[in-house]
């Protein structure tokens, strides 16, 4: 393999992670006081305005509800709107346009944790539940590894470029 081809492949591999976030869309949902709340964001943290939200039963893949996000990218869903008699495992799908689709899963246990938190806050129960932050505390491992590989690749590219210049003189 020639050095030029190798360099081209390295550059494409290095640039690939930088190109992907342009089509990145994320949806996040959580249960608070028995109500599903969530938000959709596009790359750069912009809100996914008027994105289509579909709530699907994870067990039988049945569509339970279709709604949209607001101008701030947020949505709220009441249990009554889902027509469920008891909490169930759910899939929340966000379709924010062509190529912009994401999903989030809520388990039936998320509803019971919400009820425990509500009961402890109202003083009806001695049991307290620490409310966790809905956002991860550290970046995903994939992002860290991609960053390290990019730095090492860029360093190797600079070293190779400098050695070529020295060889031409």
78 vs 11: CA distance, rounded Å: 48
150 vs 169: CA distance, rounded Å: 29
CB 89 within 8 A of CB 57: yes
- Enter the tokens of residue 26: 């994320």
Considering only residues 45 and 29, tell me which one the structure prediction assigns the higher pLDDT: 29
What's the structural domain count of the chain? Answer: 1
- For the ranges 11-25, 48-62, 153-167, the lowest mean pLDDT is seen at 11-25
45 vs 48: CA distance, rounded Å: 9
- What pLDDT score was predicted for residue 25? 85
Q: Is 137 helix (H, G, I), strand (E, B) or coil?
A: coil
Hunting for tokens 């020639």 — which residue is that? 2
pLDDT tens per residue, range 103-137:
899 888 887 776 555 444 444 434 334 444 444 45
User: CA-CA distances (angstroms) from residue 78 to 6, 33, 53, 56, 142?
Assistant: 55, 10, 14, 14, 34
- What pLDDT score was predicted for residue 129? 41
- What pLDDT score was predicted for residue 38? 92
Q: Is residue 90 part of a domain?
A: yes
pLDDT above 90 as % of the chain: 14
Q: Is residue 102 part of a domain?
A: yes
Q: Is residue 52 part of a domain?
A: yes
CB 76 within 8 A of CB 67: no
Q: Is residue 67 part of a domain?
A: yes
Candidates 33, 8, 88, 9; CA nearest to 56 is: 88
Q: Is residue 161 part of a domain?
A: no
Q: Is residue 120 part of a domain?
A: yes
Given a cut of 80, whether residue 15 has pLDDT beyond it is: no
* pTM passes above 0.95: no
Q: Is residue 145 part of a domain?
A: no
**Residue 31: CATH number of its domain:** 2.60.40.1120
Show the domain range for 35.
24-135
Q: Is residue 169 part of a domain?
A: no
């Amino acid at each position: 393999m020639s050095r030029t081809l190798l360099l081209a492949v390295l550059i494409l591999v290095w640039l690939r992670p930088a190109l992907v976030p342009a089509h990145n869309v994320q949806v996040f949902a959580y249960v608070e006081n028995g109500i599903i709340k969530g938000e959709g964001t596009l790359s750069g943290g912009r809100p996914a305005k008027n994105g289509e939200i579909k709530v699907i039963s994870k067990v039988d893949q049945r569509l339970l509800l279709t709604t949209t996000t607001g101008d701030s990218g947020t949505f709220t869903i009441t249990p009554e709107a889902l027509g469920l008699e008891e909490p169930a495992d759910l899939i929340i799908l966000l379709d924010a346009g062509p190529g912009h689709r994401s999903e989030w899963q809520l388990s039936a246990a998320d509803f019971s944790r919400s009820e425990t938190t509500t009961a402890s806050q109202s003083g009806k129960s001695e049991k307290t539940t620490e409310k966790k932050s809905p956002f991860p505390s550290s970046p995903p491992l994939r992002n860290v590894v991609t960053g390290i590989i990019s730095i090492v690749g860029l360093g190797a590219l600079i070293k190779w470029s400098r050695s070529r210049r020295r060889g031409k003189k």
